[in-house]
Amino acid sequence: MSVLNKTMYRILFGLFLSAFVSMLLQPFTDTGFVEPISVVLLSFLLYLLFMRGFKKIKALSTRTIKKMIYIFFILFILLQILIVSQIQIQIFGDPWNTLTQALHLSKGIPGWDPWIEYYPNLLPYVGLQWFYIKIAEFLHLNYYIIFYSFNILINTSIWMSIIQFLWKKDPNIAGMTTVLMLILPMNYEFILKVGYTDGIAILMLVSLARVFDHMMMTQKLTYRSFFASIFCFTCAYLARPNVIVVLVALLIFVLFAFLKRDTFQKLWQHVLKLFLACVIGIILSIGLSQQMAHWMHYDMNNPINFPTANWIYESVNFESMGEWTPQDRDYTLTHPGFATAKEADIAGIKNRISELLHHPWKIPVLYIVKFATLWSCGTFATATDYQLYSQMYHWSRAPRFVVDNIGTINIFIETYAKSLMALLLFAIVSQLKRVRKIELSIFNFSILTIMGISFFHTLLWEVKPRYQYMTIGLIIIAAALSFENLYQKQHIKRLENKLISKKRGVIVFGLCALSSLILMSTVMQMQAPQTIIVNSQFQQLDNYHPGEDQLILQAQEKIVQEINLPTSAEKFTVTSQPSQNIQLKIQKKLHQKWIPITQKEIPKNAVQTTVQQQFQSGKYRLILFNSNDTATQIKAMTRTEVLDYPNQAKIGSRKISLGFEFSKKEKVSKYHFGLILLFLVLYSVTIFLFYTEKSF
């Protein structure tokens, strides 16, 4: 038992230490190259701020902390509402494909998006989005009111569950975690704007962790907890099937409890019951998926359904380091020389493993890089996944400052998020170093599940940073339970016991800060600058059904679509492909009047028409006018019930939208002078806090 415990401890300590180092020093992220020294220095600033904040919270009464938590939750909800109402970005990929498919199902339109036919695992999300659409129709509300409301509900519920649990452990830690809730960047990105199934998976994992903790406290699993676990795991498995790693964590705890029966008595039986509840949840989720497929008339045996082997085939791709590629997708889809995709993928797996065995040095490189990829981004790519299309953000609506500086904003948020996550991982590492053993506790349940997800994707599955995001709730719980140890232990020893004086420490920090600023001003300027899209409606016009994008514009009829430009643009492109020449007019609203800005003829069959001139910020309208004596056919988005663009045109009673884009000609450096100046200020604040901190 002692050997097993020590082995598990060493493995987990090594993995979390590796995750911490990767988060701290890995410069390549989804938003670009992040200057690594700045992450280290900003982590130290956050350490100092958290130390002071934790001290102040511990000085408060329990009643005051409770009031603070209520106030912070109100602020949290208001912030979420503010963000979804002021910032809207057009998504692509899985979330958009599933949404348009759900719309077609709600309208009784036959046929399936080929992308969803490839990936049957998307069916539960199609069903969820169908539910949103039906609720919106029933309440006569816009789809996005329901969509954003649900996302805010899930996001808030996650944190309510975490804070409620921590409150029972220690009100001080609960208060500090509520501060963390407000300042965590991921709370305002993917989970709100894209949704997907990550939020549900996070909430269910937190709920399972609470069930596990209650079982440990009471030494039994009640019937209520048993059925709650079945529900949670059913939902979690439908949302993210990789939660199956929880079963491995539970089996490890069954073994630990069984080997220490003298201490835990019959606890191993209750952990085994929890394991059984999760297995039942998997069976139920598979059954629900099959019933959903039957109801939706989806063929689960369609030859173009991608087999499970597809993801394993992708996972051993040394060229992409285990990340998804269109080439791997096409190989599975066409399976050249094989009767089925499964046969092609199995053969491909064998070939790739053989290649790795012939070059053994590639094996550790592949798996180290895959693991580091999961822990490379502080935001876990929640600011870019399904949002950053061809390195550009297609804004439906956003404030001027955000649009003009999105590259710089992303770099700062990523640096800050990496620093914050590094601090949380450091807290977990320090706690592991203190206890030096694996115990039956929610802390260990959390860290086993966190690294179980990492191991699953590192060893068996394709990899990208967002796949680790589903464990964020457990990361918060594990880190929060480590706060007390982090600041009691004083990882930076007192001044009199230091090998160097505080003044020398300030000098060292200053030299590091100077190096960081020099790198930002030189090396970091070499990365690709940010292309700025001011306003866009870029969604696929045909909704994957040929012919649906065709719109008849009668003789002398026009389409008028209004657009708000938050900042200036120099280039405009519209997609129309008319069957005969038509007129494009752009007008701007000044003093309550529409003033002509430009006019251009769109030639017959011209797919895209571009206008290059200065467009100042303000309210515009696009007009496509059929000046002919006969009807004209053009391209336009004809089903806009779920279109993520707020301003739409009307043809009679029908709402439509043109495809267009306003952009800037010049690309912008991600490390803008203003950002470098901001880091200079932050470094100065860090030196001041460090020098005046009496704890050191």
pLDDT in tens, 8-17: 888 889 999 9
Is the pLDDT at 401 greater than 60? The verdict is: yes
Cβ atoms of residues 667 and 27 within 8 Å: no
Dig out the tokens for 365 from the structure.
Answer: 């490189």
Per the structure, how many domains does the chain have? 1
Identify the band that residue 328 occupies on the pLDDT scale cut at 50, 70 and 90: confident
Nearest CA to 99 out of 117, 119, 125 is that of 125
SS3 percent helix, strand, coil of the chain, rounded to 5, is 60, 15, 25
> 500, 499, 632, 628: which is closest to 553 by C-alpha?
632
Distance from chain centroid for Cα 617: 31
What's the chain's Rg over C-alpha atoms?
27
Q: Which two tokens stand for residue 338?
A: 């094989």
pLDDT at 489: 53
573 in a structural domain: yes
Distances (CA, A) of 607 to 71, 575, 598, 634: 53, 6, 19, 10
CB 662 within 8 A of CB 563: yes
Task: Note whether residue 364 is domain-resident.
Answer: no
Domain that holds residue 597: 537-665
**Closest to 584 measured CA to CA, from 495, 660, 655, 509:** 660
pLDDT on residue 447:
92
CATH code of residue 624: 2.60.120
How many angstroms separate the CA atoms of 599 and 444, rounded?
66
Strand 618-625 vs strand 558-565: parallel, antiparallel, or unpaired?
antiparallel
Cα–Cα distance measured from residue 509 to residue 328, given in angstroms and rounded to the nearest whole number = 46
Residue 640, Cα to own-chain centre: how many angstroms?
A: 25
Q: How confident is the model at residue 371 (pLDDT cuts 50, 70, 90)?
A: very high
**Structure confidence by residue, pLDDT tens digits, 130-145:** 999 999 999 999 999 9
Q: CB neighbours of 617 closer than 8 A, spacing ≥ 6?
A: 400, 565, 566, 567, 568
pLDDT digits (tens, 9 = 90+) for 305-326: 888 888 899 999 999 998 988 8
**pLDDT band, very low/low/confident/very high, at 539 (cuts 50, 70, 90):** confident
What pLDDT is recorded for position 543? 46
SS (H, E, C) 161-210: HHHHHHHHHCHHHHHHHHHHHHHCHHHHCHHHHCCCCHHHHHHHHHHHHH
Continuous segment of H or E residues that includes residue 412: helix 406-435
Question: Is the confidence at residue 115, as pLDDT, over 90?
Answer: no
Residue 553: its pLDDT value, please? 87
In a domain, 198, yes or no: no
User: pTM of the entire structure?
Assistant: 0.92
pLDDT digits (tens, 9 = 90+) for 197-245: 999 999 999 999 999 999 888 888 889 999 999 999 999 999 988 899 8
- Identify the residue whose tokens are 């999760």: 278
476 Cα distance to chain centroid: 16
Cα 386 from Cα 95, distance rounded (Å): 8
Coil, strand, or helix at residue 663? strand
Give the rounded distance of the alpha carbon of 37 from its chain centre: 25
**275 close to 250: Cβ distance less than 8 angstroms:** yes
Q: From its phi and psi, is residue 404 left (phi > 0), alpha (psi between -120 and 50) or beta?
A: alpha
477, part of any domain: no
Mean pLDDT of 631-655: 84
> Does 35 reside within a domain?
no
Q: Is residue 330 part of a domain?
A: no
Give the pLDDT score at 499.
45
Phi then psi dihedrals of residue 673, to 5 deg: -55, -40
* DSSP 3-state of 555: coil
Which residue would you say has higher pLDDT here, 110 or 149? 149
- φ, ψ for residue 562, nearest 5 deg: -90, 145
Cβ pair 210, 160 in contact under 8 A: no
Question: What does the block give as tokens for 681?
Answer: 């200020």
pLDDT at position 569 is 93
Residue range 159-188, pLDDT digits in tens: 999 999 999 999 999 999 999 999 999 999
Contact 422, 384 (CB under 8 A): no
Which one has a higher pLDDT value, 260 or 570?
A: 570
- Residue 1 is predicted with a pLDDT of 55
Whole-number average pLDDT of the chain: 88
- Is the confidence at residue 490, as pLDDT, over 70? no
| DSSP 8-state class, residue 629 | S
Residue 317 is which amino acid?
N
Residue 12 lies in a domain: no
Of residues 500 and 138, more confidently modeled: 138
Q: Which two tokens stand for residue 274?
A: 């929890």
Half-sphere exposure of 277 (CA within 13 A, CB side): 25
Give the HSE-up count for residue 48: Cα atoms under 13 Å, Cβ half-sphere. 19
Three-state DSSP at 319 gives: coil
User: What is the 3 state secondary structure string of 218-266?
Assistant: HCCCCHHHHHHHHHHHHHHHHHCHHHHHHHHHHHHHHHHHHHCHHHHCC
H/E element, 551:
strand 550-553
Judged against a pLDDT cut of 60, whether residue 271 lies above it is answered with yes
In one-letter notation, the amino acid at residue 2 is S
3-class SS at 301?
coil
Give the whole-angstrom CA distance, residue 453 versus residue 447: 10
Q: How far apart are CA 696 and CA 491, in angstroms?
A: 10
92-101, 374-383, 493-502, 626-635: segment of lowest average pLDDT: 493-502
From CA 127, how far away is CA 138, in angstroms rounded?
A: 16
Q: Is the pLDDT of residue 458 over 50?
A: yes
Domain membership of residue 507 (yes or no) is no
Other C-beta atoms lying within 10 Å of the C-beta of residue 397: 17
Q: 128: which residues sit within 8 A by CB, 6+ positions away?
A: 197
Label the pairing between strands 582-590 and 593-602.
antiparallel
Least confident of 126-130, 236-240, 324-328, 476-480: 324-328
For position 128, what pLDDT does the model report?
93
Tokens 């918060």 correspond to 476
Is residue 361 over pLDDT 90? yes
At 549 the pLDDT is 66
